[in-house]
Amino acid sequence: MITKSQSLTTDNFKHVSAINADGSPMRYRRNGQTKLWKTRPNHFRIPVKRGLYEYGYIDQDNAGEFNSA
């Protein structure tokens, strides 16, 4: 699980349950700066990229699905 403090420093992430065709866990890398809010101190958003064309976010709702690599 990714915590708010880990979201500021970690650059590589691995998905807990999703796997690639070769059986290795899906790997994501940071694609920008972590977004933090003053009015919502428990919320964060990390832009990530997987492969050439797949983009997304890790936030407080799906942080349990990822580990730091």
- Per residue in 45-68, pLDDT tens? 999 999 999 999 999 999 999 999
Range of the domain at 63: 4-68
In angstroms, rounded to a whole number, what is the distance separating the alpha carbons of residues 13 and 57?
11
Identify the band that residue 36 occupies on the pLDDT scale cut at 50, 70 and 90. Answer: very high
Total structural domains within the chain: 1
The whole-number pLDDT of residue 4 equals 87
Residue 69 has pLDDT above 90, yes or no: no
- The pair of three-digit structure tokens given for residue 49, joined into one six-digit string: 């990229």
Reported confidence tier of residue 12, pLDDT bands at 50, 70, 90: very high
